[in-house]
Amino acid sequence: MAMLSAVSPATADNEAVFQAPLSASDAPPSPVTSIQAKDITRHTIALAWQAPERANGVILEYEVKYYEKDQNERSYRIIKTTSRHTDIKGLTALTSYVFHVRARTAAGYGDFSAPFEFMTNSVPAPIIGDGANSTVLLVSVVGSVVLLIILISAFVISRRRNKYSKAKQDADEEKHLHQGVRIYVDPFTYEDPNQAVREFAKEIDASCIKIEKVIGIGEFGEVCSGRLKMPGKREICVAIKTLKAGYTDKQRRDFLSEASIMGQFDHPNIIHLEGVVTKCKPVMIITEYMENGSLDAFLRKNDGRFTVIQLVGILRGIASGMKYLSDMSYVHRDVAARNILVNSNLVCKVSDFGMSRVLEDDPEAAYTTRGGKIPIRWTAPEAIAYRKFTSASDVWSYGIVMWEVMSYGERPYWDMSNQDVIKAIDEGYRLPPPMDCPVALHQLMLDCWQRERADRPKFGQIVNMLDKLIRNPSTLKRTGGKDYATRRSNPSLLEPGSPEPCPSAGTVDDWLRDIGMERYSDNFTAAGYTSPEGVVHMTQEDMARIGIAVATHQNKILSSVQGMLSQMQQMQGRMVPV
């Protein structure tokens, strides 16, 4: 166990510091106790609240946390404001929302208020007064009906255009929400990056930190585990990233940029920044401690030990963290299992933020012909080709993380060279489903690996999809079978292997039941589609011909058919062409 001597260990003196009574300015503000809704419309609630009874200093800002009452509290949104009121916009009509408010002073955040619940309205604010004459009313009603027809037609047309037209709607909605949700601020836009550190990271006194052991090496220095005991708070385990001696100004800036970025996030699936030590050496970044370390190593150590539901829970957590980041307009660029940390409760948190550093630090990152350093196997083609990094390229990488998780930490594309990976992807090949991977999950991976980035799902949709699978575990039962077990020891990706018999995918009836489309069983039977092999080549026209008229049902069945086809092809020893 290595002890670093540069930081004072917990001595009797330090203990005395911990136990000293808090002065008013050390104590965070007391909780906000009352929140009122001053005005409510279909999509907006105007909130106002009282200052906390004991501010214990100057209140620098308030944080409003809110979420739909019926949704998981984890998918909350945050708005920060310096005043005691704010308009919460972009809400869904006729929906109950829960709000909490807390105040921040120089001593940090106080506790959140108790929950306050308000419901949005169901009708738009009236535009016709009581005295309006019936002609105006009639015109308005006719106008509304025409508008409704136009909207419905537009909706149907856009639904038909591509399966992620809903994605577009969600994206538009998200854009609105951006007006209410804080957007990530790039610390390098500050003239003085130290200012960003001061703004987003709390300075911690080195005497509060006890370093216990070195757990790894980062680009800038050792990563250690230890304990943090802040005045008035209980002692917690922390991870401590240190900046090694002899650093340049640029290295110090790059090192601390990670804290300036992390400090802007507050989400259960994003690694939490406790603070920084910048006033003495070594300079340190202190984060929550994640007992199980990096996800890739953790999975390899626990090969085969989790249930599918546990694995999907892991994926759901990561997707939720990524949704939060994309909502804040933060593009990670290096989403990979090695950059996800796991705690003792199997909660996964996205980590490894930073600017230029992110890719420099990553041993997987390789130089491209254009000079950038990129982790090829995890990166979307447009990001490799012309550095177009977006939340959609993060979705591609997330698909690779899904594959890593379902294969318990296997290396994507095994021992293929980076150049071969780029070529295979360009030719339309995709990773096959890992052993025992539910078809629905492999289909989601394939969706994340759509060549057109606009066709990839948004993180919000991925979270919804995973929630649906978790709620209906029977949808996770259908897998490609065990034949794939051989692939792990002898992956021959691009060589067509000797054709194997197709795996039994059950009956067409079973399959339709799995995807919730059993109402069409008779249509399939009557048209002679009695085996999965017969179904996989069906087209949209075939669907219409056998009497499936609803576009959403056609899409659902077709997307499942595509997954089934890819299953069969990978069973024949090939990577999946799309």
How many chain residues touch ligand ACK (CB under 6 A)? 13
- Minimum Å gap between C-beta 34 and ligand ACK is 37
- Minimum Å gap between C-beta 352 and ligand ACK is 8
Which of 296, 327, 334, 514 does the annotation list as catalytic? 334
- Minimum Å gap between C-beta 536 and ligand ACK is 41
- Minimum Å gap between C-beta 341 and ligand ACK is 5
Report whether 277 contacts 286 (CB < 8 A): yes
- Minimum Å gap between C-beta 397 and ligand ACK is 18
* Tokens, residue 493: 């990706």
List the x/- string, 247-276, binding to ligand ACK by CB under 6 A: ------------------------x-----
3-state helix, strand, coil in the chain (%, to 5): 40, 15, 45
In this structure, what are the phi and psi dihedrals at residue 139, rounded to the nearest 5 degrees? -60, -40
Kindly state whether residue 223 participates in binding ligand ACK, applying the rule CB under 6 A. yes
* Tokens, residue 449: 């690996």
- Minimum Å gap between C-beta 294 and ligand ACK is 3
Rounded Cα gap, residues 444 and 461, in angstroms:
10
Kindly state whether residue 239 participates in binding ligand ACK, applying the rule CB under 6 A. yes
Q: Which is nearer to ligand ACK, 225 or 393 (CB)?
A: 225
CA distances from 255 to 215, 220, 258, 339, 361 (A): 18, 7, 6, 16, 11
Rounded Cα gap, residues 226 and 235, in angstroms:
10
Q: Which is nearer to ligand ACK, 252 or 272 (CB)?
A: 272
Is 334 a catalytic site residue?
yes
List the x/- string, 84-123, binding to ligand ACK by CB under 6 A: ----------------------------------------
List the x/- string, 182-221, binding to ligand ACK by CB under 6 A: ---------------------------------xx-x---
Kindly state whether residue 289 participates in binding ligand ACK, applying the rule CB under 6 A. yes
Rounded Cα gap, residues 212 and 380, in angstroms:
39
Site for ligand ACK (CB under 6 A): which residue of 56, 113, 294, 567?
A: 294
Site for ligand ACK (CB under 6 A): which residue of 287, 326, 393, 566?
A: 287
Rounded Cα gap, residues 199 and 386, in angstroms:
33
Q: Which is nearer to ligand ACK, 258 or 514 (CB)?
A: 258
Greatest CA separation found in the chain?
A: 85
Rounded Cα gap, residues 88 and 99, in angstroms:
10
């909130």: which residue's tokens? 47
Residue of closest CB approach to ligand ACK:
216
Length of the chain equals 578
List the x/- string, 5-44, binding to ligand ACK by CB under 6 A: ----------------------------------------
Among 373, 372, 392, smallest CA distance to 382 is for 392
418-425, long-range: CB within 8 Å, 24+ apart, which pairs? 418/366, 418/376, 418/377, 420/494, 421/376, 421/377, 422/376, 422/381, 422/384, 424/493, 424/494, 424/575, 425/381, 425/449
Positive or negative CA dihedral for 121, 123, 128, 133?
negative
- Minimum Å gap between C-beta 301 and ligand ACK is 10
Report whether 256 contacts 320 (CB < 8 A): no
Report whether 38 contacts 114 (CB < 8 A): no
Residues 326-365 that bind ligand ACK (CB under 6 A): 341
Catalytic machinery residues: 334
Q: Which residues sit at the interface with ligand ACK, rule CB under 6 A?
A: 215-216, 218, 223, 239, 271, 287, 289-290, 293-294, 297, 341
